Amino acid sequence: MTELPRSIDAIDTPAAVVDVDRMHANLQRAAEYCRAHGLAWRPHAKTHKTPALAAAQVRAGAVGVTVATPREAEAMATAVDDLLLAYPPIGRPKLQRLMALPEHVRLTVGLDSAEALAGLAEAARAAGRRVGVLVEVDAGMGRVGVQSSDDALALVRAAAETDGVEYRGIMFYPGHVRMRVEAQDAGIRALSERVGRTLEALHAAGVAPGVVSGGSTPTFWRSHEIEGLTEVRPGTNIFNDRTTAEIGACAWDECAYSVLATVVSTSVPGQVVVDAGAKALSKEEIRADVTGYGALLDRPDVIVKSVSEEHGIIDLSGTDWRPRIGERVRIVPNHVCVSVNLHERLYGVRGEEVVDAWEIAGRGR
Amino acid sequence: MTELPRSIDAIDTPAAVVDVDRMHANLQRAAEYCRAHGLAWRPHAKTHKTPALAAAQVRAGAVGVTVATPREAEAMATAVDDLLLAYPPIGRPKLQRLMALPEHVRLTVGLDSAEALAGLAEAARAAGRRVGVLVEVDAGMGRVGVQSSDDALALVRAAAETDGVEYRGIMFYPGHVRMRVEAQDAGIRALSERVGRTLEALHAAGVAPGVVSGGSTPTFWRSHEIEGLTEVRPGTNIFNDRTTAEIGACAWDECAYSVLATVVSTSVPGQVVVDAGAKALSKEEIRADVTGYGALLDRPDVIVKSVSEEHGIIDLSGTDWRPRIGERVRIVPNHVCVSVNLHERLYGVRGEEVVDAWEIAGRGR
């Protein structure tokens, strides 16, 4: 890490900036919710990919963290000793890297196929390592996960009977329930019923799961309504983002992450161009009725209406504010996880002061 | 760079892979077109961000390369000695980095404001460095660039009269002409007229530009229809991508870049999941009527219908092909420039053999 800039004004743009007080408040709020409802909190490190922030999550009460890739696992293992890889590791290189994690790391892996189970068990036996397994169940998203209670039972039995791995439970990801929080009733109910049927089948067969891991940022505050849930894995809500605020799962002033950018052109009337585009914010859309790729932290009604690779175009049609060339703005992106992934470091700020900086060590392969 | 894998099968996924024969053929084709039409070829290095590939472009006939950021300039300066920064450098850190480029680098900067010009000239004087200027003209895209011939003339005069910089010409970017090649007639005509009016005004005022720099990949093969153009700056067409093929600016078998991915789940009927998602392909859309985020290199009718961060969902509804867990695919992304930016290195392959690997040194800040 190069020397810390003293003030936010001394950071060159575009740059990824974290309001540390908001971030810690977000962690406290999540931890308290989980404590109040008896849920284990295992935040997903994909959002920050930063070991020091995973350590902050554990200090705030997390039981460990979730990761999606071997690189994230390796980086987080430097700071946290309980990891869930919520992604099936397919192929020898990934399995070898997992088995090479420090011995003190308690490793659990989520998977949804006999092939993934067999590969993991073989690698675990060869390494003489104890590895836990969660069987991933499709709770309605239609992305991954076994499709029926029968399939869940079959894979759970296989996990329970396979040498080298330890059956620890089931997991699911409710990525399809991402509408506004107050409109989630039917989604949460369907989710609860679907998970409930699987739990019944597993109980009846004598292979009840110790861990039932689910949750996400959009559904986070309703996790306690999902019957049988023991663990939640929200990623985004350490920082929050424009999507999270838009669906009502956070307040705007709970957005802790922004991209610092500089106005570089004011030539075209009704807009200004900043030096943060698709390679700093990303070009992910929210929905057809929520346009743009980000909004200003201090002026949430002012949006980045379009992006090219290194250009963000800020729409001034609804504001009297007229920034000049060289002026700086802070932009809350639509999706924080993919924005963080575009940066090499995070600057921690308190007001105008830069109080910390972290290499985003879990990026890449 | 770690040791080179011998075969493409030995590369862990997801990974960025370049068919070196297709890439060199793409470069030859672009070079021949430019030679045939008397156009200087200054490809944009933002696409590959890789010094060795910039050097390959110069060997194939490029006069130099275009860059968008100080980091790209620093990386390309290790391989190429004529750089156009097609982006206004605002603020001291960026200007200092530019002035610190090796002395043998001939530097030209595109800009569209008196503020950017003044900052650049001051930095150039302080550094005792000769820096060229191109005045950026908005040719209809509405992103950056002076808006009228009068404004162009005013900024050109300022550039010509300012100590420390050398007025070299004008530039524009026709990013709005990105429809199918055969539907570009009206766009090319409007472009030509708009640039023509500016050229007339500058000629009449005795400040005719030496360089008229334009061009892009979508309009590349029609560059000769733009009256007065002297230089083109296509980025994408070293590799091409799904968008370029879709608009007819390349054939599918001219796509030289793909993301190598592994099938990790086949649980949900009608689809399989691969380990390349928004953090390997990006989640940029093409248009409402061209869905998905990529297509298979060897099966262009099979598309990645959706992506999450580490998941790509391949739609099998229109094919009998049923890949198994562990099988590998190569995906041509919608937009190659933002996909390359998500990887740390490019693997050069010829058939199944890995013949080279390059660190993408121009990434980041």
Q: Identify the closest residue of chain A to B339 by CA–CA distance.
A: A279
Bridge partners of residue A67, in order along the sequence: A85
Residues from chain B contacting residue A175 (CB–CB below 8 Å): 308
pLDDT digits (tens, 9 = 90+) for B125-183: 999 999 999 999 999 999 999 999 999 999 999 999 999 999 999 999 999 999 999 99
Give me the numbers of helices (H) and strands (E) for chain B, helices first please. Answer: 9, 17
DSSP string, A275-319: S-STTTT-----BTTB-SSEEETTEEEEEEEEE-SS-EEEE-TT-
Which residue, A324, A327, A236, A343, is CA-closest to A281? A343
Compute the nearest-CA separation of B63 from chain A (Å): 23
Q: Do A283 and B279 touch (CB under 8 A)?
A: no
pLDDT at A2: 60
- Give the C-alpha separation, A191 to A302, whole Å: 36
At residue B2, does pLDDT exceed 70?
no
Compute the nearest-CA separation of A90 from chain B (Å): 6
Give backbone dihedrals phi and psi of B263, rounded to 5 degrees, phi first: -70, 125
Bridge partners of residue A263, in order along the sequence: A274
pLDDT at A215: 86
A-B contacts (CB, under 8 Å): 154
Give the best residue of B144, B271, B286, B337 to mutate against chain A (max A CB count within 10 A): B144
Which residue, A278, A342, A280, A307, is CA-closest to B343? A342
- The beta-carbon neighbor of A113 closest among B15, B267, B311 is B267
Q: Do B46 and A309 touch (CB under 8 A)?
A: yes
Residues from chain A contacting residue B262 (CB–CB below 8 Å): 90-91
Block residue for tokens 């196929």: A113
Q: Do A279 and B310 touch (CB under 8 A)?
A: no
Compute the nearest-CA separation of B297 from chain A (Å): 22
- Give the C-alpha separation, B303 to B306, whole Å: 9
Q: What is the ipTM of this complex?
A: 0.97
Amino acid, res. A252: W
CA distances from A359 to A16, A89, A148, B82, B264 (A): 11, 25, 42, 33, 29
pLDDT digits (tens, 9 = 90+) for B45-82: 999 999 999 999 999 999 999 999 999 999 999 999 99
Bridge partners of residue A312, in order along the sequence: A274, A307
- Give the C-alpha separation, B241 to B295, whole Å: 10
Q: Do B268 and A113 touch (CB under 8 A)?
A: no
pLDDT digits (tens, 9 = 90+) for A75-107: 999 999 999 999 999 999 999 999 999 999 999
- The beta-carbon neighbor of B115 closest among A112, A284, A325 is A325
Could you say which residues of chain A have pLDDT below 70? Answer: 1-2
Residues 6+ apart with CB under 8 A from B22: B253, B254, B255, B256
pLDDT at A3: 80
CB-based contact A222:A177 (threshold 8 Å): no
Alpha helices in chain A, H assignment, sequence order:
20-37, 51-59, 70-76, 92-99, 114-127, 149-161, 185-204, 242-246, 336-340
At residue B6, does pLDDT exceed 80?
yes
3-state SS, residue B333:
strand
Query: Cα torsion at B64, B65, B66, B72 (round to 10°)?
Result: -130
Q: Identify the closest residue of chain B to A67 by CA–CA distance.
A: B310
Q: Do B344 and A337 touch (CB under 8 A)?
A: no
B51: Cα separation from own chain's centroid? 14
- Give just the sign of the alpha carbon dihedral A100, A103, A106, A112: positive
Q: Identify the closest residue of chain A to B89 by CA–CA distance.
A: A264
Omega of the bond prior to A14 within 30 degrees of 0, cis? yes
Residues from chain A contacting residue B112 (CB–CB below 8 Å): 265, 267
CB-based contact B214:B172 (threshold 8 Å): yes
Model's pTM, two decimal places? 0.98
- Give the C-alpha separation, A46 to A41, whole Å: 15
CB-based contact B233:B193 (threshold 8 Å): no
Which residue, A344, A243, A359, A237, is CA-closest to A291? A243
Residues 6+ apart with CB under 8 A from A175: A141, A143, A216, B308
CA neighbours closer than 13 Å in the CB half-sphere of residue B300 = 12
- Give the C-alpha separation, B278 to B161, whole Å: 48
Q: Do B308 and A15 touch (CB under 8 A)?
A: no
At residue B86, does pLDDT exceed 70?
yes
Report percent pLDDT > 70 for chain B: 99
Q: Identify the closest residue of chain A to B136 by CA–CA distance.
A: A267
A166: Cα separation from own chain's centroid? 26
- The beta-carbon neighbor of A91 closest among B116, B326, B337 is B326
What is the arithmetic mean of pLDDT over B304-332? 98
- Give the C-alpha separation, A283 to B333, whole Å: 14
SS3 content of chain A, % helix, strand, coil (to 5): 30, 25, 40
- Give the C-alpha separation, A83 to A51, whole Å: 12
